[in-house]
Amino acid sequence: MYIFAVVQAIFMMAQLAVLLDASSRVFAGDVADKYMPKWLTGKKDKTGRPVHSYTLTCGLALFLLLLTGTLPNINSIYNWLLNINGIISPYKTCWVFFAFVMLRMHQDKFHSDYVFIKNKTGALIFTFICVTLGFIPQEAEATFGSAAFNHQLIMNIITVIVLFGLGFLLPWLRKREEKREMNM
């Protein structure tokens, strides 16, 4: 039983590291240069991957570790990490659905014989409501209105704001770099 627990812990840590590393490498390596600051994409290793994507990975991991450090025990930390994935992933997918609905709003340009969703506004509202319901803490001991519930709800909101804020901050930093380069 103890061997299984150790192997499982190593597996979960490796999986978290690979998921964070893979997403930041793809984010820093495959995104158009006009959206990423040069300090993040400039230096590359021998395989052509950005070296400073590890800085981004470490920053994201540190942010999550500092937040989970406020939880009372390891079970709460594990469950919160699972739940935060259940918030972030649907919001990412929500943008794909938003793009689909935007295509439907311009159906005069993009004609299709089959119509999946007829009410475009209702589709957007339904999607947003379903995704936002993921913010509600899922743990049994975090009953509505309790200190644990409020704490996890605040952590969920902060995490989403920081992660999506990073998605807005990096292109803004790149624009500032371009302006500075033009003025030189």
**Alpha helix positions (H), 30-136:** 38-41, 53-68, 74-105, 120-132
What's the pTM value of the predicted model, to 2 decimals? 0.65
Residue 84 gets the label, from left (phi > 0), alpha (psi -120 to 50) or beta, of alpha
Question: Which residues span the domain enclosing 51?
Answer: 1-68
When pLDDT is cut at 50, 70 and 90, the band that residue 101 belongs to is: confident
pLDDT in tens, 117-157: 677 677 778 877 877 777 788 776 667 878 888 888 888 88
Could you say which of 34, 68, 102 is where a domain stops? 68
Same domain, 140 and 97: yes
Same domain, 89 and 17: no
Q: Is the pLDDT of residue 25 over 70?
A: no
**Token pair of 152 as six digits:** 């996890």
Same domain, 88 and 169: yes
Q: Is the pLDDT of residue 23 over 70?
A: no
Same domain, 56 and 20: yes
* ∠ CA 165-166-170, rounded to 5°: 120
Could you say which of 41, 68, 95 is where a domain stops? 68
The span from the CA of 146 to the CA of 135, in Å, is: 15
The pLDDT, as a whole number, for residue 153 is: 85
Same domain, 83 and 174: yes
Same domain, 96 and 165: yes
Domain count, the chain: 2
The pLDDT, as a whole number, for residue 59 is: 83
The pLDDT, as a whole number, for residue 35 is: 77
Same domain, 64 and 82: no
Amino acid type, 40:
L
Same domain, 24 and 92: no
Same domain, 78 and 64: no
Q: Is the pLDDT of residue 1 over 80?
A: yes
pLDDT in tens, 73-97: 888 887 887 777 777 767 667 777 7
pLDDT in tens, 50-67: 777 777 777 887 888 888
**What is the mean predicted confidence (pLDDT) over 153-182?**
87
Least confident of 28-32, 73-77, 91-95, 102-106: 28-32
Same domain, 81 and 60: no
Same domain, 86 and 169: yes
Could you say which of 26, 53, 68 is where a domain stops? 68
Same domain, 82 and 110: yes
When pLDDT is cut at 50, 70 and 90, the band that residue 29 belongs to is: low
